[in-house]
Each structure stands twice: as C-alpha cells, then as structure tokens.
Structure 1
Amino acid sequence: MDYKKPAEVVALMIQSGTDKGRLNAADLFVRGTLSGMLLGIGTTLAITASTQTGVAIVGALLFPICFVVVVLMGLELATGSFALLPVAYFHKTVPMPVMLRNLGIVYGANLFGALVYAFLFWASATSFGQTHTSPLISNIIKIAEAKTTGYGQLGGAGIATAFTKGILCNWMVTMGVVLALTSSSTIGKILAAWIPVFMFFAQGFEHAVVNMFVIPEGMLLGAPVSIADWWLYNQVPVTLGNIAGALLFTAAALYITYGKKNQVPAVVIQNSQAPETIIREPHIA
C-alpha cells in the first residue's frame, strides 16, 4: 500500500526537519530563492486565470501547481519549515539555534526570490514600464491595496484580521506539506499537497511568501502603498500568523498525538548529526 499511517508521517516530519537542519547556508538560500520565485509565478498564474475567466475559483484551482513543484523538488519554503523544524526541535533532533538560523535564511531567500520575480514580471507585463495595457495590472494593484491599506483602514482590527488569516492559511499550507508525506508516489504526493493549498487560496487567507511577491508587484505597477504599509499591515502580522498556525495546529498538535517516542516508528534519528535512518524520503518544503 502506498499510504503511510499518521505515526509514520510524523516520523517523516521529524526526519525532514532534521535533514533541513543539516543544510548549509548556500543550499538554503538557493532553494529558498527558487521557492520565492515559484510562488510568485503561481500567483500570477492564478490571477491570470481569474482575470480571463472572471471566476476566482479557477485561479485557486491552479495556484497549487507552484506548491507541488516546490514539494517535488525538495525546495525550501519558510511557511512549510514553520512546521517541520519545530517538530524536529520537539523531538530533540534539531537545536533551537539551528532552527532559527534555518528559518531566518529561508525567509530572507524567499523574500529575495519573490522580489526577483516581481521585477521580472513587471518587466514582462509593462515592457519595462513602457505599456500598461495588461488586464492583470489593475487586478494586482487592487489586491496589493486590499492586503495593506485595506487592513490599515480598520486599525487594530485590520492587523488582527491579517494575523488570523495568516493562521488559517498556514494551517492548510503545512497540512499540504504533511499530506504529501502520506504517499511515496508522485501522483499521490501531487494530489495530497494540492487539496489543502487550494482550500487556503480559494478562501483568501494570507500567505507570507505570496505577499512577498504580490504586494511589491502592486507597488511597482503603481499601487499607492508604501513599504511601511506593506510590513505593518501585512507582512509582519501575516508572518506571525503563519508561524502560529503551523506551530499550533500542525507541529504541536500532530506531535502531541502521534509523535510520542513510543508511537513514532523506531527509525527516527537521535540527534542532528546522526546518520540517516531507515525511513528515506526527500525533505519537503
């Protein structure tokens, strides 16, 4: 049978988080940069589909393509790492300084990749600022405004809303990471990862790495949004919400119920320097 039971999946989460802790800074940066760019291109794909069809759910159905690529290629996405590294930390296979170093590098690399793609998309959509006829431009500007000054108009309630949407988003994103571990087949991983990511995107929840692209892109295209608006009303509260959702509803919840040492299969490493174990899966975003 291709399906792996929950205790086996948590063991794979621990292994994956531990493997991430072993990666050097160069690998983390390259893989994180690619992930930031891929989520940007997935976002523009979704906006293109929604714009062309006039049906937002079509864009939500297509967006998970970028997440699937990240998962299958074993790239580094901070929002997924917000669950996998804490599970390894709970199991004492990754120390706190290693976890924080990893998350810091990957978050910065995701931001760098998202900004690189934002410039490339701006160049392609406007012919380096010479034309503004693409129907996507006005939609991206509206999204950037809604995600920043739209929340800002509500004051503290708006910031709290962004935080709450960040929680709900990354609960589903990390469940996409986890569900991909339930299967060892490519098709199984694709379908399992697709479902929860579609669920978050269709409901308009807030993903920190997606916003690293779409808000700066809106600014490049003319949205009246400042860098302070971006970080105060969106990036900071959404990132904190993404951390909370991953930590509480995925990492802690699954480890508490399935990750006890008497439940995890006897294949999990005892420390971050130990040799690899019997379970062999590529680490997942």
Structure 2
Amino acid sequence: MASFACLSACGGDGSSAGSGATVQSVSAVNATASTLPPAAQTPAPTHWMPVATDTWQLQLTGTINTSYAAQVYDIDLFDTPQATIDVLKGQGKRVVCYFSAGSSENWRADFKQFAAADMGKALSGWPGERWLDTRSPNVRRIMQGRMDLAKSKGCDGVDADNVDGYTNAPGLPLTAATQLDYNLFLANEAHARGLAVGLKNDVDQIAQLATAFDFAVNEQCFQYKECASYAPFSTQGKAVFNVEYASRYKDAATRAALCASAKAAHLRTLVLPLNLDDAFRYACD
C-alpha cells in the first residue's frame, strides 16, 4: 500500500464516538497516567508559519510535480527524494512533510521499531496499517525520530496524520484526554526542532489545539459539513488547507459553488484524486 493508505481514517463524519467527550487537562492526564512522558516545556524557537493566503499543493504518491505555482507543498516524508525537496526549496517554496503519527504502516522503514503492544486494531479498508497506542513512550520516541528526519531533509513543517484515533475504535484505551496530550506532544516536539506543525483533522479538538498548532490540514470538511469548526484557526490568520475528493467537484459549476464557499470561509481548497498522485488538480485560488 502506498503512502496515501491512511487517508480514509483521517476524514471525520461528525458522528465519531468521541464527540462531546469531556477533555481533561493535560496536567491531569500526566498525573494519572505515568506512561505518558511530559510534553516539552522549552520555549518554541522561531519557525516558519503559513498564513491564510498561502496557496498549496498536496501530492503523496508518484513523481512529485514541482511545476505548480503553489507556495506550500505537502509531500511524503519517507518517499520523497531529497533531490525533489531541494528543487522545491530552490524555487522558494515551503515544504511540509507528511507522516502518520497515529498508525503503523508495515511498509515504512522504521516499522520494526514498533512493539507488538504499541499496535491496536487494523484501520478498516487499509491493509498493513494499525492504530497506535499514542500513550506509549516507544511510539513517541519513534515520532521524535520522524521529526528529526524531517528536519534533516530540510522540511519547513510536518503534517502529522491520524491524530484522532480515539474516535475510531482503535482497540486501545485511548480517550479524548490522551489524544489531546499526544497532539500537544507532537506540536511541542515539532516546535523544538524549528518545524511548523499542522493539525490533521481531529475536528472535535480544534478549539483546544488551534493555539498550539501553526496551521490545519483538513480532508473533506465540505463533504461532512465541518468547515465552520476551523474558525479558531482562520480567526488567528492561520492557514487552513482543505482537500475534497468527491467526484462531483470535477463539474465546473459545482466546483464554482464549492470555491465560493471556501473563499468565504478563508479556506485554501483543492479538489484532488483520493490516491493523491497528481492525476488531476483543481484549485480554488
């Protein structure tokens, strides 16, 4: 399975079991769960942050098309050659590197570092992928290593996927509170390395996380009528990068209505194929 394998788990439908759950404070979580390493407390260094007007491109499979006049490229951390990142940086573009922070993928180079106890149920419909116990110190160490790789490859930011496992029956005792703690851990670790960090979906916790994260990446908020949830990002002038996959948006008139709504909501919206291979691209820019 190629690197787009986690995408179906990322989109929300507004009916997740975790919706409306009471979110404990991060300090309470750490006080009651000794397996959770404390989040980094060092001040965040200066780092790049996209703004609401930045244009973007998302491609996770195939040879990256570097010809788009987009200011931000979201590409796969592992599979994108260093030479491609160098080309994009040489063009003055910002590079966001994608990885799954909430699932194991058995084709990744670091897969063997996960312990059996770190992994829960399989992601439905996505062979080779299993939910991760995001409370695990080992899982967190592996994610730190991935951010080190992002920094070494010259990425400006990271797109950490599958950070809403608690809403997906992962076969692990994850809760809204443990998810909040983990997502804040990811944000702190990215900032400690001078990387911007995007919140991928996790719509139910946007209000708690919009200050800690530098931008948002959303899949199908128009499809699931969740776009209004991103106001905490847009009111701060932070970028909200949205992608829609529904085939109806290939129709010019339907897409025009979509783009009008996207612009009114201060979203940067793309219509792309689900496997994110650059087979087609429509941008509401």
Normalized per residue, the structure richer in helix is 1
Rg comparison, structure with higher value:
1
* TM-score (ref. length: structure 1): 0.24
Normalized per residue, the structure richer in strand is 2
With CA pairs under 8 Å and 6+ residues apart, which has the higher RCO, 1 or 2? 1
* TM-score (ref. length: structure 2): 0.24
